[in-house]
Structure 1
Amino acid sequence: MANLELHSKITLNDEDFDLLFENTSYYEYPNETNGCCSLPPCTVYKIQAFDKIFLPVFYTLVFLLGLFGNLVVMAVMLRYKHTLTSTETFILHLAIADILLVLTLPFWAVQAVLGWIFGDVFCKIIGSVFKINFYSSIFLLVCISFDRYLSIVHAVKMYKKHKTLLVHMSCLAVWGFCCLLTIPDLMFLQSVNEIRFNTIECLHNFSSNTARYWRATIRFLFHVVGFFLPLCVMVYCCSRIILTLLGSQGFQKHKDMRIIIAVVLTFILCWAPYNVVILTDTLVSFNVLNQNCDLDTQIDIGKSITSSLGYFYCCLKPFLYVFIGIKFRDNLLMLLNQIGCIGNKFMKKYLTPEQRNSTWSESGERTSSAL
């Protein structure tokens, strides 16, 4: 999303500290803009021209690929819902989160070109939906990692086989927690005049007497609660799992760990660069780093590029399921066969031996699948 932060340019001193946040709009979404480094304002024409071309094209691509891929994931999961493990149930909810997230991208693409033309109500709704699904994707990955950690490292089955109610309740708890985290967005998101770009944008709009508190709160939620702590949990769980499985041929027994580790590593590679850029912007905002026009420009462009990489993560997960997840690939092939997209010969050729033996009789006719 383009242009997601506006700073007033006031020299910081003891008497005027609160004025720094007067008429300040702040938004934690990708491509938020940083304030000007000095008076007169820094030149932003290059940034604006870059965003108007790059963001709509990339957001449209991610929207189409992400929507199609995750709808396929949902279709496969729901078709074979009676065989879903706890991990696959979490992945189903991940697909829902990714779909809702990419559905917000057309609005941000329009904003990059025309400004925010959808009004305050849609600003609150679209902004909150985006943030809820951004957080939920992270915490669902934490649930998957922690569940596998307990099962493999400590031999504790948190979720009994075929008892999906507890898994869904855990997912609902994640969704509820993420909704709580986005209360500031629902409260403060408005259509605001972004003076640097001379356009209306969907931004946080704080009053001067509460700006410092809410701005620090949202930054804390984003950096610590929304990324650093979940990342530490995922890295710890996956590291302990890998150490436990190494040397014992455990990866053959726990084949689902390959897809989990791939998804977590891809998450880190896609979202870590954006969080580094946002952390740099936070340090500049609180005067830990000296502000200047060159740094502002680098941060603005960095947000556009790294946030787009983060969005692309929504498109990558379905491909990881297909190319690494054996069970998912088999289920997808069977679903395509059932709706007439592929023939029986193709099925026999590409199904794994275990699935082929449980799905096909000697005569080549389909039997009930045992997944």
Structure 2
Amino acid sequence: MMETTANASDTNYDYSEFNKPCEKHILFEFGALFTAVLNSCIFVAALIGNTLVLWIVAKYENLSSITNIFIVNLSITDLVFSSVLPFWAAYHWFGWIYGEPLCKVMSAIFSVGFYSGIISLTSMTIYRYVVVVHPHSALRTRKPWKGVVVCLIIWLTSLLMAIPAVIFSEVHPDNDGFLKCDYADATWEVFSTYQQNLLFLISFAIITFCYVCILRTLLPSRPQRNQKTVKLILTIVVVFFLSWAPYNILMFLKSIDHLQTDCKISGHLDYAMYICEKVAFSHCCLNPVLYALVGIKFRRHLKQMFYRPCIFKEQSSNMRVNSQDNLHHEDFSLY
């Protein structure tokens, strides 16, 4: 918490009033309860949704499709990201009780999951853009090993971007003696904020551009048939923006010093940050729905899992025949 300082020339004021830290006990109580409940819900939903996607791919699909490789990679990144949420829930309630080594480990896992998730979404979008808008070029990129290489690059890039979190995260007490696992140096905290802001802006620009081009390609051909596709594409873009934009805007505002020195503004930002942070984190629950479970093939596999397999035996045979006859559409079959 930042302290307010008075101007040295103003000799007629009682500086002790300005040197008092902001009182945020009620805020912290709200944050502890809100974070504990929401983080737990997000963790359970992400665990169920992403595990279900991995199970469907393992049981009914294979990794010969680059789309499936990207979906598996996205599910893994979401599971990695959500795995630290229970620790942060306990942290907001009890303080950091796990020691400094685990503080660095959890900060690294959280950062890697955060960065790899957004980069994975962007990579999937770029691949879909190539498949739909430049189908002839896509034929050269369909080899599964290329998808594996892209995923490895995503993880390597995320690890490099998470290095500051590993090095500079420390356990230290705040003004009330509450143990925090955070950046000890404000400079690196601001650097991390701007790094996340920049990644979001670049990713959103790429995703928007790619889907606009996809829509321009799909709509003139079969407008009636592609109505569901259009709705899903717009939903993906809007959900991505509404999930991450408020969080990134608030992170940027909280990095501005003069806003933190005003206790009233600082309190409002903290309340808003708690809410927007959970909205952003919940995106790891929505990914399985938006990128996998709404697809025709995945819905059929879900029915096979929850109903008698014999009912869908004929459907499964027809689906295999159709997938062979329409191989050039396979990587866009999620729509």
TM bucket normalised to smaller = 0.7 to 0.9
Q: Distance in 2 between matches of 1:161 and 1:257?
A: 25
**Aligned letter for 1:332?**
L
Name the SS of the counterpart of 2:34 in structure 1. Answer: helix
Find the partner of 2:182 among 177, 200, 203.
203
Q: Distance in 2 between matches of 1:323 and 1:108?
A: 28
Q: Is the 8 A contact 1:188 1:204 kept in 2?
A: yes
Q: Which moved more, 1:310-319 or 1:96-105?
A: 310-319
Task: Report the counterpart of residue 100 of structure 1 in structure 2.
Answer: 80
Task: Report the counterpart of residue 238 of structure 1 in structure 2.
Answer: 211
Residues 7 and 169 (structure 1 numbering): CA distance in 2 closer, same or farther, change over 3 Å? farther
The answer to whether the aligner puts 1:317 opposite 2:272 as a matched pair is no
Give the TM-score taking structure 1 as reference length.
Answer: 0.76
Task: Report the counterpart of residue 362 of structure 1 in structure 2.
Answer: none
The answer to whether the aligner puts 1:219 opposite 2:193 as a matched pair is yes
Q: Is the 8 A contact 1:116 1:191 kept in 2?
A: yes
Q: Is the 8 A contact 1:70 1:95 kept in 2?
A: yes
Q: Which moved more, 1:103-112 or 1:264-273?
A: 264-273
Q: Is the 8 A contact 2:193 2:251 kept in 1?
A: no
Residue-by-residue CA offset, 1:162-210 (whole Å, 9 max, x unaligned)? 6211101101101100100011000011111122x5300110112xxxx
Aligned identity (percent) is 27
**Aligned letter for 2:181?**
C
Q: Is the 8 A contact 1:138 1:230 kept in 2?
A: yes
The answer to whether the aligner puts 1:182 opposite 2:155 as a matched pair is no
Shift of 1:80: 3.5
More helix by share: 2
Q: Distance in 1 between matches of 2:245 and 2:5?
A: 31
Q: Distance in 2 between matches of 1:80 and 1:353?
A: 12
Name the SS of the counterpart of 2:170 in structure 1. Answer: strand
Q: Is the 8 A contact 1:59 1:106 kept in 2?
A: yes
Give the TM-score taking structure 2 as reference length.
Answer: 0.83
Shift of 1:290: 7.8
Shift of 1:278: 1.3
Residue-by-residue CA offset, 1:304-335 (whole Å, 9 max, x unaligned)? 1111111211112223356621111112333x
| Aligned residue runs from structure 1 range 276-287, under 5 A | 276-282=249-255, 284-285=256-257, 287=258
Task: Report the counterpart of residue 133 of structure 1 in structure 2.
Answer: 113
Q: How big is the alpha-carbon RMSD for the aligned residues of Structure 1 and Structure 2?
A: 3.1
Task: Report the counterpart of residue 245 of structure 2 in structure 1.
Answer: 272
Task: Report the counterpart of residue 168 of structure 1 in structure 2.
Answer: 148
Shift of 1:223: 1.0
Unmatched segments (≥5 aa) in structure 1: 1-5, 14-36, 360-370
Residues 233 and 97 (structure 1 numbering): CA distance in 2 closer, same or farther, change over 3 Å? same
Q: Distance in 2 between matches of 1:256 and 1:95?
A: 22
Residue-by-residue CA offset, 1:117-137 (whole Å, 9 max, x unaligned)? 001111011111011111111
